């Protein structure tokens, strides 16, 4: 629970953050549209088309083998009609977030390209699981999974001194990034990312996923969303898709199965192997999506 000491520690870490990164305008408007899936197609197309290079990147992906359309899709509006609001919003959000935290800015101890592979792998896994669970808000799932570890980016780019201390702790003690953060900072990327999500006015459900993706049983607003992202995190670690600061492979939090049984009563831990096999195919299919990272 967030006691007084915890708040002090969080404040102290935040005071080390050199500047608050800004979310690109397009990404934040796309995030706003998450609240309202009824937004007219033309309005969404206008938001995307206000950024020419983003439009080019979106159309390139839409025309890639990932979607495999026989005919060229040449406008965003056409793409929206063919692929739907959710898919285009996910693509747009992904491209614009990755651009604001470019993978080329490597620190000696942190590989951004691999970090984004982990995050995008998680988003792909989360969408796959959402389909399996017939979970209705699959658009939110993708976005929430993509940004679940955003606190690590905030630390690594805007509080580099603290971040390097955490990385040293990871390598010298051979422990998880999460445990190293606890030891060194007393708070973790989950709470730091949750704070950032709040500053960026993300929907509360997504802020909650960021805060509790390691402990989905703590979620109160939308536990299934949090549980899906948690399970995706576990799966991409098992498959070693990318890297998020440590090589730790962990098993799903025990509470996760109970939460997800509300979506699929027959679910239990024996499904892990099945999800693993599904994910292998999904990652292979999503290669053009991973090309966004470069």
Which residues of the shown chain bind Fe ion in the complex (CB under 5 A)?
149, 233, 244
- In whole angstroms, the minimum distance from the beta carbon of 249 to Fe ion comes to 12
Query: In the complex with Fe ion, which residue's Cβ is closer, 58 or 115?
Result: 115
Minimum Å gap between C-beta 13 and Fe ion is: 16
* Residue 110, helix vs strand vs coil: strand
Q: With contact defined as beta carbons under 8 Å apart, do 260 and 267 qualify?
A: yes
Compute the least distance from the CB of residue 190 to Fe ion, in Å: 6
CA distance 208 to 259: 15
By beta-carbon proximity to Fe ion, the closer residue of 138 and 244 is 244
Closest separation in Å from C-beta 77 to Fe ion: 35
Q: Give whichever of 45 and 115 is closer to Fe ion, judged by the CB atom.
A: 115
Q: Name residues whose C-beta falls within 8 Å of residue 277's C-beta, 6 or more positions apart in sequence.
A: none
Cβ distance to Fe ion smaller for residue 51 or 149: 149
Query: Cβ closer to Fe ion: 45 or 122?
Result: 122
Closest CA to 213 of 200, 232, 236, 196: 232
Q: How far is the CB of 48 from Fe ion (least distance, A)?
A: 28
| Among 151, 141, 120, residue whose Cα is nearest residue 242 | 120
What's the min distance (Å) between Cβ of 93 and Fe ion? 18
CB of 180 to Fe ion, least distance (A): 12
Residues 176 and 181: their CA atoms lie apart, in Å, by 9
Distance between CA atoms of residues 38 and 227, nearest Å: 26
CB closer to Fe ion out of 45 and 129:
129
Per 3-state DSSP, the chain is made up of helix, strand and coil in percentages (nearest 5) of: 65, 0, 35
Q: How far is the CB of 212 from Fe ion (least distance, A)?
A: 10
- Whole-angstrom Cα Rg for the chain: 19
CA triplet 92, 131, 54: central angle to 5 degrees? 5
SS (H, E, C) 216-279: HHHCCCCHHHHHHHHHHHHHHHHCCCCCCCCCCCCCCCCHHHHHHCCCCCCCCCCHHHHHHHHH
Residue pointed to by tokens 């690590």: 152
Of the pair 84, 255, the CB lying nearest Fe ion is at 255
Q: Which is nearer to Fe ion, 169 or 233 (CB)?
A: 233
């Amino acid at each position: 629970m967030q006691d007084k000491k915890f708040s002090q520690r969080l404040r102290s870490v935040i005071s080390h953050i050199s500047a608050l990164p800004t979310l690109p305008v397009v990404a934040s408007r796309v995030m706003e549209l998450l609240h309202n899936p009824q937004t007219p197609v033309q309005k969404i197309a206008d938001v995307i088309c206000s950024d020419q290079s983003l439009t080019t990147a979106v159309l390139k992906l839409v025309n890639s083998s990932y979607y495999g359309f026989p005919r060229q899709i040449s406008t965003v509006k056409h793409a929206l009609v063919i692929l739907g609001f959710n898919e285009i919003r996910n693509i747009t959000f992904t491209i614009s977030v990755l651009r604001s935290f470019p993978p080329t800015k490597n620190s000696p101890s942190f590989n951004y390209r691999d970090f984004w592979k982990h995050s995008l792998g998680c988003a792909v896994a989360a969408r796959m699981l959402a389909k399996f669970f017939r979970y209705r808000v699959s658009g939110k799932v993708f976005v929430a999974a993509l940004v679940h570890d955003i606190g690590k980016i905030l630390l690594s780019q805007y509080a580099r001194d603290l971040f390097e201390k955490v990385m040293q702790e990871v390598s010298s003690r051979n422990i998880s990034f999460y445990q190293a953060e606890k030891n060194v900072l007393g708070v973790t990327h989950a709470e730091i990312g949750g704070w950032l999500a709040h500053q960026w006015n993300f929907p509360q459900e997504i802020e909650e996923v960021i805060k509790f993706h390691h402990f989905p049983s703590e979620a109160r607003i939308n536990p299934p969303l949090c549980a899906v992202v948690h399970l995706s995190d576990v799966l991409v670690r098992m498959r070693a898709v990318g890297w998020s600061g440590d090589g730790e492979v962990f098993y799903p939090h025990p509470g996760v199965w109970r939460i997800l049984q509300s979506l699929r009563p027959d679910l239990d831990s024996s499904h892990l192997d099945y999800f693993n096999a599904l994910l292998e195919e999904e990652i292979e299919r999503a290669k053009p999506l991973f090309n966004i990272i470069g």
